[in-house]
Structures are given as structure tokens and as C-alpha cells.
A and B are shown apart, each in its own frame.
Chain A
């Protein structure tokens, strides 16, 4: 019998604690598939964030170190600098990466660290119950913006993929989403490109994935996917903002 579907070897058999309709499961799988396909599992060290993905080590079947909130790119720098032979990536959410960890991510990118960063943007702090994140959309209601994000008071959301893409030492920066089979495939391709860049020692690769948070958004999973397509994507356009290969 021909195998048409198989769980990646880079994923464990554990069930995730993610809410129904959350995109973390998808993104985990895309990362695992990329690592399997490039035969990197046995030399991978991942850096887990603080946030919903803090239990990464339960779901990925390779070595994982858990970072303090926002510091994952600093840990990844330390690992890669003393062990350049290891495959190193961080997996971070928007509060972790773009708020408390803004200095660490910008500087790791600016040094052109030869690592991959997978950035899951769901426009709020999921783990702590849905507070305003640096990526919360103008007008978006959260537990700390009960009347909607007021840009006069809270400023504007960061477009991280563009910001990272503007730095000269960055090899690749792209924004993808996982709301349809077509887009899941494209997201997987972008993530794989990041890891290939690391193998080829091209430098820093950043993949932002627009992602759902049905629980904290107060939506059902289908509606949440639609909100990514409509509301999120209108502020966060999909695309490649830096590619030293010129998009090849």
C-alpha cells in the first residue's frame, strides 16, 4: 500500500494543548516537515518562547531549550556561535518577539545570525488571555483595549516582516498565512527556504505566519480564518520583503 500521509518524524505523538482552530498545530507541522525533508532533525536545537508555544519541547521530536520571555534570538545566537554545525531556530509569538523581545530580534537579525526565526503573529497575547500585543490591529478589542486599540494612545502595530526585511544583513524575510491549502503549501515552502538558507550559510531568515486565535478573538475557527484573510491581511500584506537570492 502506498503511504500518502504520514506524521513527520520531527513531531512527537503528544497531543497539543492548543485551542480548537488555533494555527500553531499547522505551523508546527510545517516546521517539522521542512526539517525532515532537509534531514536536519538530528542536528537541530530549537529555542522555545514564552507564550502558547512554551511547551514546544513536548511536541517537537528534537532538542529544545526554553528561553526567558523574548530572549530566544539571544539564546539562538549563543548556540549557533559555539556550534555552527547545529541547525538552530526560534519559534516565537508576537508579544514575545515584537514587544519584550524587540531588542533581541532586531539585533540578531542585524548581525545576520545564521538562524531561522518562525514568527507566529495572532495579534494578541494568547497564553495570558488575550491582551493587546504589538501586532494588535487598530480598533481591535482585547482585554486591555476594551474599546478597541486606539492608535493615539497605543500607537500602531509593527509590521515585523517589513521591518526585519529592511536590515542589510538579513537573507530572507517573508509573511505567509495558513488559512487555505494553497497558503499552507506556500507557508511550508517559505519555512523550508529559511532552513535551506541556514544550510547554505546565507544568514538570517525570518518567516512571519499570520495565525488564528479563535478563543481570544471570540470567534469560531472558520470565522477566525476569515478574519485573518480580511482584517489581518489588509494591514499585514503577504509577500517576500527580502530575499538575497532575488526570489529564486
Chain B
């Protein structure tokens, strides 16, 4: 049964994963996502499921790789520097086509940076992140209800395409508390789809691997992956466009989009025609839909909590750099509604 609760973001994400049927959770301490691991350490054993505090993020993602290679639902959560360490395992899982859910409650970088909410992992998230030719399916929730709903469906999405799904939140999403409706418990029982490693009873033995040494086999595999990613691009589009009457179109995702909504509300009160385009899936990116929405905008304002990363996707979609403006807030700080409001005023012409 679904239920309405007041809950912290990190715990809401954890409970949504539990309700989606996650069988194995593997994590390592890092701020600002520690509540997920703490929650899971109690919740998973309570349900007879697996929880391990790994010795490192490298080990955590490889535990996920192992668990998920059996066909069971597995996940890990971390924050930016930890996600950087996980790129090895993520690349292997993409090569071996092993599904899993990875949550990045991201923080300011580069390096150890700080623990403030940041969107500076956009490039890493949407361009693969590790070695080789691959993509992750990447969601960017903007509030807790969305984070819950996305976490809940991310497992299915990862299974559907046999590819890891990344949920790119940030410290604000992880640390804030909101009222959310938790989805009902799903009974997940792993089915055999002819690739899982679950013991070779009554069948030939199988392997899950990313190594393809024989001449031409890696090329064939990469072309297969390309075909798969093209299918994801075709099938999966998620975005929000708040209205149809605008001269200025703000483009933002996650927390910066949430903040932009209040600035837009304020600007509209003052007679400015402005709306928000918010990608919910940031890979695949809604290029076609943004290009269409941008047609009637005199100005397109990209707002990000970084030095300009999604900006390049917007320019690629709009194909007219002269109309694109940028407001960036790097360094693990949440963009201020007044800053966005002032930027809107300054570019309205």
C-alpha cells in the first residue's frame, strides 16, 4: 500500500528502492549521502535482504556488479568523489550489460571539494564517465516525490535495457525533508532472461564479461551497444515544460530547476513572459523537444550549479549560440532565486 510520510531525501530514496524490491545494497560512507547507507543497514536485514558496508566505493560497485550478475536487483549510493572511484565498475557493467541502480547525491568538486549541493558531475554522468564507448541512463530529480518515483522505476528501466541507471541528485535533494507518497511494495522475483549467472542446471554454462579479445568481436559488441543506446534515445524522453507563452525560456535540471521555478513565478508577476524547460532524463537528453520549445524564445537562459556543463547540450539543441545565456553557480552552493530573477531581468532586452 502506498503511504504519505514526511521524510528526508536520502531515506526516501532508500525506502523507494526497498519497495522496488532491491535485494542487495552495498555502500561506503561519504557525505552528503550517509543516511541512505544507515537506513539500509537496518532496513535490508529486517527484510532478509543483503546489506554490506564495503571497504571502499570500488568494492561497493563491484559487489553490485557481482550481485546484479545473478539477475537480482542491486544498488549503491555515493557522492561525487565516491562515484568517481566507481567508474571502473560502472564501465565493466556497461560492457558486460549488467543492470543496476547507482545514486549520486553529488557535492562540490573537483577533488574533495566540499559537501555542498552541486551539479558539477553533469558531464561525468551523461558522457559515460569511465573508459570506453557507453552511456548511462541518467535521471535528475528536482524534488523528493520525483526522487522517490524515479528510484522506484529505475530498477525496471535498468533491467529493460540491461544497463546501469544513474540517479543524479545533489546534497539538497539528499538532505531536505518533504512530504512524499511512498509507492507500494513490489514483489520482485528474478526471472531468467538467458544471461544471468544463477547456476547452469539444465542449460549450458554462461559468462558475464566485458573482455572481447578475438578479432572483430569488440567492434560487433560496441555496434550492438550503439544500437541499444539509439533505442533508449528513441523510447525514453522525460522533461517538463511549464507553459507555452514565453519570450525567455529557462533551461535547468534538478535543484537549480526547482529554484528557477520561484524566480520565474516572481518574474511573471512583473509581467515577464518566461517559462521553464526541465529535462528529467539528462541522458538521453531531450534535444528535439528542447529545439522545438526554443524556437519561439527570444532568449534561452541556462541555469546550473556548475561552470557550464549542460550548457553545451542546450547549445547543441538550439544551434543558435547568440540566443543562449548562462548563469552558473559553482563550488557546492545552491543558486539563489534572486540571482536567477536578476539575470532574467537583465537579458529580457
Give me the interface of A with B, judged by CB distance under 8 Å: 12, 41-45, 47-48, 54-55, 57, 60-68, 71, 74-79, 81-83, 86, 103-104, 106-107, 111
B211 on the interface (CB 8 Å rule)?
Answer: yes
Instruction: Please tell me which one of the listed residues A71, A77, A86 contacts residue B52 in the complex, with CB atoms under 8 A apart.
Output: A77
B111 CB → nearest A CB, Å: 21
Chain B residues lying within 8 Å of A12, measured Cβ to Cβ, are: 205
Counting residue pairs across A and B whose Cβ atoms lie within 8 Å, the total is: 136
B173 CB → nearest A CB, Å: 26
CA distance A67 to B209 in the complex (A): 8
* Contact (Cβ within 8 A) B50 A75: no
B201 on the interface (CB 8 Å rule)?
Answer: yes
Q: Which residue of B lies closest to A85 (CB)?
A: B199
Q: Which residue of B lies closest to A54 (CB)?
A: B211
CA distance A86 to B197 in the complex (A): 10
Chain A residues lying within 8 Å of B199, measured Cβ to Cβ, are: 42-45, 62-63, 86
Nearest 9 pairs of A and B residues by beta carbon: A78-B66, A75-B66, A57-B207, A78-B67, A74-B62, A78-B63, A66-B209, A81-B50, A107-B55
* Contact (Cβ within 8 A) A42 B200: yes
- Type the 1/0 row for B175-217, where 1 means its CB is closer than 8 Å to any CB of A: 0000000000000000000000111111001111111000000
Instruction: Please tell me which one of the listed residues A60, A62, A68 contacts residue B92 in the complex, with CB atoms under 8 A apart.
Output: A68
Instruction: Please tell me which one of the listed residues B70, B96, B208 contacts residue A86 in the complex, with CB atoms under 8 A apart.
Output: B70
CA distance A31 to B69 in the complex (A): 22
CA distance A48 to B207 in the complex (A): 10
Q: Which residue of A lies closest to B72 (CB)?
A: A82
Task: Among A45, A103, A104, find the residue whose CB has the most chain B CB atoms closer than 10 A.
Answer: A45
* Contact (Cβ within 8 A) A75 B65: yes
Q: A81-B50, A86-B70 are in contact. Are A65 and B209 (CB under 8 A)?
A: yes
Q: Which residue of B lies closest to A100 (CB)?
A: B58
Q: A75-B62, A78-B26, A79-B67 are in contact. Are A103 and B207 (CB under 8 A)?
A: no
